[in-house]
Structure 1
């Protein structure tokens, strides 16, 4: 799921991919930083009126970056805890979607 989100962000020009020593790194572009903060002055339909979506995308990117760092440099216990944290977060997000579906 995270890889699909990253591919979407790359396609939108908000993120770019770099290979560093065989590791794929994703970094925000200038457009991505602007969209993530919701402070741009551009007239792009992607950022105009879409600050909540852009802010969420920025949070997803930040989470992916932190998870990648733990995966690369964390201790076995740190990687185990990170995996549990990510699984818990995914479950909570699914609960939000279920709640919205049931309310609508």
Structure 2
């Protein structure tokens, strides 16, 4: 899958392939001119969670699961998740993917 060069560099042995994509957005984006391109719109800014951080993790995880569903693959078919967020240095992304059977690399 990949070769490690040093402690923080990974060289992929094949070019990455994007099999599918998904977009889950908040109410404001859902009300905008691009709304038809999104897979889901979350009306509740907390996405049913108690905190904004938990909501961001949930939305990221749900988006991954939607993209996975659209690809026709299972999480074990995916070699690596490359993801990040702007919340506390990948905290939301780390929590989003902790129970997924796919390696995660934070960006």
Structures share fold, TM-score greater than 0.5: no
Higher helix share: 1
Higher fraction of strand: 2
Q: Which has the higher contact order (CA 8 A, sep 6+)?
A: 2
What's the TM-score, normalizing by structure 1? 0.30
